[in-house]
Amino acid sequence: MASDRMIGARIRARRFDRGLSQADLAKAAGISASYLNLIEHDKRRIGGRVLAAVADALGTDPHRLSEGAGPRLIRALMAAAAATESDPPPEIDQIERLAADLPGWTALIAAQSDRIAALEARIAAMGDRMAHDPALSASVHDVLSMVTAIRSSAAILVEEELEADWQRRFHRNIDEDSRRLATSAQALAGYLTAGEGAAFDAVSPQEEVEAWCAERGFAISGDMPVEGDLSEGARALLGAVLARAGADASRLPDSALLRGLEDGVDPFALASGTGVDPGLVMRRIATLPRERLGRDVGLVECDGAGAILFRRPTAGFDLPRYGAPCALWPIFQALLVPHGPRHDVVRQFGRDARPAETWCSVALDHPAGYGGPLTARATMLILPGAAEDVPPTLGTTCRLCPRADCPARREAAIL
């Protein structure tokens, strides 16, 4: 056995640790120094009574000497040592001793190393997704091809003495390419936002849950089974989403909801008429099948830090696929004034954006009791196609937003 071959090294390491000579230890264990020497160099097997005596003299258990840290833990420690450079470097020849003396810390090092490796793999996968996403790659390629053609044609027009025919040709080419560039850039922006029911490779549990709900038209209910090819994290999250949908439905059943919607969609009126939280009403509206509501609907929920908890994308009001949303969205304004529910008509920048009614409210809670931390859940219902037209003031996310004078811009636009 591999561990047998390490017994001698473990005994020697322990003996050094305790400042004993071979003669001292041999005498304490009742064996000769020359026999101990053979044992320490793994030239004699040790077991039974002699092992117990040596272990006793070293102040440890026999199994610590015979079994060591176990091959899995040793492999994990070796991997941890190899993964990161340090100065001074880890004492590889002392791994057995480390594991024997400090088993808890050793297990922690191994667990941390495993976790770092898993996180690195995840980061690599996400980077890989951006770098090798075929749709994104094709879209960027289109944009760059158009830019290349325009740049080359424009340079010819500026730098060369051209006959009229050639001038016309290159002007025409620039015109064609600039039109195509506008279309390609729009397609790229469209890709970078999460369109309604957009199919994409979900990476995070939240994306998996959104894709799962999108497949069902967001008509989710508490009695739906958590099924399908989902990660463990997504299963847990979906379970919570479905449980919330079930609890919401029990407080505001379909019959009451549909009756309340007969005169139009007004979540605040419906909430006060039924005595439930406005956010709950909005979630219920957003889980109605489109044919029952008769119009498009979107929903965004975030926590007190502004992190998105749940999204139902809708046409006409884009939600970003990558990056944080526009800070001017009414939901974030509502988050700043939690007791001031909002009803706005807004419009995003973008050719496909439509005026949208948004309804926002924030529910505050003390889940750990008063004195515990305060939590918030802000909800925004989005109803595209508002009758009132308004100029665009909002973006999707800073990187895709053209608004030059935005007071809340976090970073420059890429387009």
Contacting another protein within 207-236 (CB under 8 A): none
Q: Which stretch binds another protein (CB under 8 A): 31-39, 136-144, 191-199, 202-210?
A: 136-144
- Please state, in angstroms and rounded to a whole number, the distance separating the CA atoms of residues 396 and 415: 13
Comparison of 177 and 357: residue with beta carbon closer to another protein? 177
Name which position in 140, 224, 315, 376 contacts another protein (CB under 8 A). 140
CB of 137 to another protein, least distance (A): 8
- Please state, in angstroms and rounded to a whole number, the distance separating the CA atoms of residues 45 and 258: 81
Q: Which stretch binds another protein (CB under 8 A): 139-147, 230-238, 254-262, 291-299?
A: 139-147
CB of 414 to another protein, least distance (A): 15
Containing H/E element for 318?
Answer: none
User: Residue with structure tokens 């001793």?
Assistant: 97
User: Does the footprint of another protein cover residue 139 (CB under 8 A)?
Assistant: no
User: Does the footprint of another protein cover residue 176 (CB under 8 A)?
Assistant: yes
User: Does the footprint of another protein cover residue 185 (CB under 8 A)?
Assistant: no
Name which position in 136, 147, 185, 202 contacts another protein (CB under 8 A). 147
Contacting another protein within 332-391 (CB under 8 A): none
CB of 146 to another protein, least distance (A): 8
Name which position in 49, 122, 151, 410 contacts another protein (CB under 8 A). 151
Query: In the structure encoding, which two tokens stand for residue 8, read together?
Result: 């001698």
Comparison of 85 and 159: residue with beta carbon closer to another protein? 159
User: Does the footprint of another protein cover residue 308 (CB under 8 A)?
Assistant: no
Which residue, among 240, 389, 210, has the nearest Cα to 310 in the 3D structure? Answer: 210
Comparison of 52 and 140: residue with beta carbon closer to another protein? 140
CB of 85 to another protein, least distance (A): 23
Q: How many residues interact with another protein (rule CB under 8 A)?
A: 21
Name which position in 141, 168, 259, 410 contacts another protein (CB under 8 A). 141
Name which position in 60, 145, 204, 375 contacts another protein (CB under 8 A). 145
Contact 349, 402 (CB under 8 A): yes
Exposed e or buried b per residue across 160-171, where buried means at least 16 C-beta atoms within 10 angstroms of its C-beta:
eeeeeeeeeebe
Contact 66, 47 (CB under 8 A): yes
User: Does the footprint of another protein cover residue 178 (CB under 8 A)?
Assistant: no
Strand 319-320 and strand 298-303: pairing? unpaired
Q: Which residues contact 392 (CB under 8 A, 6 or more apart)?
A: 347, 348, 349, 350, 353, 403
Comparison of 140 and 386: residue with beta carbon closer to another protein? 140
Long-range contacts of 246-250 (CB under 8 A, 24+ apart): 246/221, 246/222, 247/222, 248/280, 248/283, 248/284, 248/287, 249/221, 249/222, 249/284, 250/222
Contact 64, 54 (CB under 8 A): no
User: Does the footprint of another protein cover residue 290 (CB under 8 A)?
Assistant: no
Contacting another protein within 153-172 (CB under 8 A): 153, 155-156, 159-160, 166, 169-170
User: Residue with structure tokens 């989710």?
Assistant: 220
Comparison of 152 and 393: residue with beta carbon closer to another protein? 152
CB of 154 to another protein, least distance (A): 9
Which residue, among 290, 283, 356, has the nearest Cα to 317 in the 3D structure? Answer: 356
Is residue 283 classed exposed, middle or buried when 0-12, 13-18 and 19+ CB atoms within 10 A define those classes? buried
Q: Which residues bind another protein (CB under 8 A)?
A: 137, 140-141, 144-145, 147-149, 151-153, 155-156, 159-160, 166, 169-170, 173, 176-177
